[in-house]
Amino acid sequence: MARPLVAEINLKALRHNYQLACQQSARDQALAVIKADAYGHGAIQVAKALEDMAPAFAVAAIEEAETLVAAGIKQPIVLLEGFFSADELPLIHQRGYPLVIHSSWQVDALSLFFKQDNQDQINPLQIWLKVDTGMHRLGFAPDQAVQVHTLLKQQPWVKEIILTSHLACADDLNNPFTQQQLSTLFRLKNQLGTPVSLANSPATLGWPSACEGWLRPGIMLYGASPLKPGHPLGDQLQTVMTLKSRLISVRQIAAGEKVGYGGRFVAKKPTQIGVVACGYGDGYPRQAVDGTPVGVRGQVCQLAGRVSMDMMTVDLGNLDNPQPGDEVELWGPQIDVNEVANHCDTISYTLLTGLLPRVKRLYI
Ligand SMILES: Cc1ncc(COP(=O)(O)O)c(C=O)c1O
């Protein structure tokens, strides 16, 4: 029998979530963000599952785009950080990848590349002009963006310009900063008359005014809501990944006995401890505290003791007659990945993208 840890990926749920994102866009303009191997779900399989629905995809770098092209994906694939060095430009040009431009050095590199290239063979590109509306990570300051826009409009290698920006606080629906960011971008849009792209998942779900132009949903496609539970749209998301394993051993310990490295968990009373085949060598976070929920045979139990490389130990509570082989859910429809993340002082994004290749992905 093989090690029982698998990540089951429900492609029907993925399609449902993508559909939900599209419904928030007046023109069904939602590109599916599938960078970082589709947040750990497998970029090729996710792209193929959405191929008949998504008009475009987005990734972080040309290597990720090339993997998709090699797998036969035909849709435009937006490079969300553009290029990292000028030697990527021949391939970007050849494939016609739409790309973000966030810095002057990129404009200079593109101008130089097309000056050297034969003008007759120019295949003009769709440029996503990134504006820093307050996140202060990537992008041109609004005034500078106007100048760059003017310059780009004159270039034969520019087919279309989309103004884009990233929202820093959209997951907090009470934070006025999002409205400030939106106002800045819409002011530029009106001045320049260009299409826009603003909405990540929290904005797609919670900020209807951001849902103009191209939406860029990522985490919501995978069913992890970036908003607090109770949000009418966030609650409609369906879980895509179920990380499951099995108990491989069960023991009874006496009150006062300790479990695992450092003896972190100390039993207050006689306790049944189950050992699960899953550990930090699979990507399950070692920071998980005692009490992190773990589903065993449908019952919510609690992590007890430090996570080891290949195993973890669980207080099975009053579970009736637990046995090696009993099914365990680390996260999935019963155990919300956001809740696990809260117990690990992190976010669902890191848990999903952090799942290591040794965990088999099973597509259903
Ligand atoms: C530029 C950009 N757009 C969209 C997304 C998708 O964000 P989310 O996963 O929160 O939907 C990301 C993710 O980090 C991003 O960097």
> Which CATH number fits the domain that encloses residue 48?
3.20.20.10
Residue nearest to atom 13 of ligand 1 (CA): 218
CA of 100 to the centre of ligand 1 (A): 13
- 137 labelled as ligand-binding? yes
- Residue 322: give its domain's CATH number: 2.40.37.10
C-alpha to C-alpha distance for 355 and 141, rounded to whole angstroms: 36
Contacts for 123 with CB less than 8 Å, ≥ 6 apart: 93, 94, 96
Give me the pLDDT at residue 23, please.
96
User: In this predicted structure, what is the pLDDT of residue 50?
Assistant: 98
Q: What is the dihedral of CA 152, 155, 161, 166, to 10 degrees?
A: -40
- Give strand pairing partners of 160: 126
* Residue closest by Cα to atom 14 of ligand 1: 218
- Whether residues 206 and 259 share a domain: the answer is no
Distance 13 CA to ligand 1 centre (A): 20
User: In terms of Cα–Cα distance, which of 204, 132, 211 is closest to 166?
Assistant: 132
Between strands 293-296 and 327-331, the pairing is antiparallel
Task: Tell me how far the alpha carbon of residue 230 lies from the centroid of ligand 1, in angstroms.
Answer: 22
Q: Of 224, 254, 283, which residue constitutes the final position of a domain?
A: 224
**Do both 219 and 245 map to the same domain?**
no
Query: Within a domain: residue 149?
Result: yes
The distance between the two most distant Cα atoms of the chain, rounded to a whole number of Å, is 81
Q: How many domains does the chain have?
A: 2
Asked whether residue 236 is assigned to any structural domain, the reply reads no
d(CA 203, CA 150): 29
| 256 & 218 share domain | no
User: Considering the domain boundaries, does residue 229 fall inside one?
Assistant: no
Q: Is residue 170 within 8 Å of residue 207, measured between CB atoms?
A: yes
The number of the ligand 1 atom at minimal distance from the alpha carbon of 80 is 1
Question: Which atom of ligand 1 lies nearest, measured to the CA of 216?
Answer: 4
247 shares a domain with 219: no
Kindly state the helix (H) or strand (E) to which residue 241 belongs, with its residue range.
Answer: strand 241-253
- Of 205, 216, 219, 237, best ligand 1 pocket probe by most atoms within 8 Å of the beta carbon: 216
Domain assignment present for 51: yes
- Supply the residues annotated as catalytic: 35, 261
Residue finishing a domain among 166, 197, 224:
224
At 27 the pLDDT is 87
Same domain, 61 and 185: yes
Q: Among 33, 172, 351, say which to mutate for ligand 1: greatest number of ligand atoms within 8 Å of CB.
A: 33
Nearest-angstrom CA–CA distance, 24 and 205: 7
Domain of residue 344, residue span: 241-363
Domain match, 96 and 209 both: yes
Which of 196, 224, 252 delimits the end of a domain? Answer: 224
Query: Does residue 173 sit in the same domain as residue 256?
Result: no
- Write phi, then psi, for 52 (nearest 5 degrees): -85, -5
**In sequence order, what are the residues at sequence separation of 6 or more whose Cβ sits closer than 8 angstroms to the Cβ of residue 258?**
264, 265, 266, 267, 305
- Model pLDDT, residue 1: 63
Report pLDDT for 120. 66
Ligand 1 site residues (CB inside 6 A) read: 33, 80, 166, 200-201, 216-220, 226
Which string of DSSP letters, residue by residue, matches 170-235?
Answer: TT-TT-THHHHHHHHHHHHHHHHT--EE---HHHHHH-GGG-SB-B---GGGGT--SS-TT-TTGG
- Both 148 and 281 in a single domain? no
Atom of ligand 1 nearest to the CA of 220: 11
**Tens digit of each residue's pLDDT, the chain (364 residues):** 699 999 999 999 999 999 999 999 988 899 999 999 999 999 999 999 999 999 999 999 999 999 999 999 999 999 999 999 999 999 999 999 999 999 999 999 999 999 986 556 899 999 999 999 999 999 999 999 999 999 999 999 999 999 999 999 999 999 999 999 999 999 999 999 999 999 999 999 999 999 999 999 999 999 999 999 999 999 999 999 999 999 999 999 999 999 999 999 999 999 999 999 999 999 999 999 999 999 999 999 999 999 999 999 999 999 999 999 999 999 999 999 999 999 999 999 999 999 999 999 999 9
* 33 CA from centroid of ligand 1 (Å): 7
Same domain, 270 and 121: no
Please check whether residue 6 lies inside any domain of the structure.
no
The C-alpha R_g of the chain, in whole angstroms, comes to 24
